Structure 1
Amino acid sequence: MANERKTKVITGTVRLSYANIWEPKSIKGGAAKYSVSLLIPKSDKATLAKIQTAIDAAIEDGIGKFGGKKPSKAALKLPLRDGDAERPEDEVYKDCYFVNANSTTPPQIVDQQVQPILDQNEVYSGCYARVAVTFYAFNSNGNKGIACGLGNIQKVRDGEPLSGRTNAADDFDALESDDFLD
């Protein structure tokens, strides 16, 4: 793991989507994993540059998995994807790139002071965070590419929840004590 530092990225502020970070979930019958989609603003050039550098380092590290030859990026499945191109109907992905990160081990989830967050309602799809991710090569069943491993998460601030779930206070008015008898 001499190159781990070259393949590891601490993002700038990103938005969490599809945040399965508290309990691992199985996708299509596969092994249960912790996972999250990181929405990276296209304006965050620093994070995007770090990710590109880490992907390049992961390709170099993965030459052994690719049969001893360095493949072109065009021949590989790459983790950094364009939200405008792949999810044009989803307003949340507008003007963002995204990376899907996962891990079989739970991430440590901390606040701005690096104190553990234990309340699962505090970190959710829609909030903003900094995330540690590591890029690595894979070659499985004829699929070759670079994947993104999920590390730790630091919540930066709240955001509009993406669950579509509403708040009970927005759905209901308070009832007078005898209103429920009707």
Structure 2
Amino acid sequence: MAKVVTGKVRFSYAHVFTPHAIEEGQEPKYSVSIIIPKKDKKTIAKIREEIEKLTKEFLQAKGLTKLPAKFYIPLRDGDEEREDDPAYANSMFLGASSKRKPQIVDDSVQPIIDSDEFYSGCYGRASINLFLFDKAGNKGIGVGLNNLQKLEDGERLGGGSTAEEDFGSEDSDW
């Protein structure tokens, strides 16, 4: 297992206050998609380095010379896999999850307890751990979610509007 603390990233699909099951019947987990700008070469290099170490470890443990065809690598290219989503443009991304609730703090490392303060679209840093898995025919590298730090606000992802936006205008037809 290898721990990585990212540089400034953007968060999406943030289920960090209440566990969420992606599919019916799955165990609910705390999870987040971590969007890493391609210009953050340091974070991407750290993650790739740990992926390389873990793949070598897997190959040695299994006595293999090449990875199985369906070996899961978590770091993905947003321009290729999420080309219709502008939030993922010019970025790499990975999903992280945990059965344990992550600690969520602000830029002064003070706890954030209001779920409206940390949301899909805000920016911050993530503490993650990469690990090998080989379970029920699935093999690859998983990403565990440790802790999150919010550094700044960003445009909310996933649509929706505030009550202020909906009802605050005097240009209403009513």
Both structures adopt the same fold (TM-score exceeding 0.5): yes
Counterpart residue number, 1:58:
54
Q: Could you list the per-position Cα deviations for residues 45-93 of structure 1 after superposition, in whole angstroms to 9, with x for gaps in the alignment?
A: 00000001111232344457x6344643866210000111011111111
Counterpart residue number, 1:106:
101
Counterpart residue number, 1:178:
none
Counterpart residue number, 1:34:
30
Show structure 1 runs of 5+ residues with no match.
176-181
- State the alpha-carbon separation in 2 of the partners of residues 55 and 70 from structure 1: 16
* Residues 11-90 of structure 1 aligned to structure 2 (within 5 Å): 11-28=6-23, 29-62=25-58, 67-69=62-64, 71-72=66-67, 76-90=71-85
Residue identity matched to 1:45: K
Q: Answer with 74-83 or 88-97: which moved more.
A: 74-83
Secondary structure in 2 aligned to 1:23?
Answer: strand
Counterpart residue number, 1:179:
none
* Alignment TM-score, normalising by the size of structure 2: 0.89
Q: CA deviation at 1:172?
A: 1.7
Q: CA deviation at 1:18?
A: 0.1
Q: Choose the corresponding residue for 1:127, options 122, 125, 139.
A: 122
Show structure 2 runs of 5+ residues with no match.
none
* Alignment TM-score, normalising by the size of structure 1: 0.86
Aligned residues: 171
Counterpart residue number, 1:144:
139
Relative distance call for 1:116 and 1:84 in structure 2 (3 A) is: same
Structure having the higher Rg: 1
Q: Could you list the per-position Cα deviations for residues 100-142 of structure 1 after superposition, in whole angstroms to 9, with x for gaps in the alignment?
A: 0000000000111111111111100000010000000111222
Q: Choose the corresponding residue for 1:158, options 153, 156, 164.
A: 153
- State the alpha-carbon separation in 2 of the partners of residues 122 and 70 from structure 1: 47
How much is the aligned-residue C-alpha RMSD, in angstroms? 2.1
- Is 1:94 aligned with 2:92? no
**Conserved in 2, the CA contact under 8 Å of 1:127 and 1:157?**
yes
**Conserved in 2, the CA contact under 8 Å of 1:22 and 1:120?**
yes
**Conserved in 2, the CA contact under 8 Å of 1:62 and 1:136?**
no
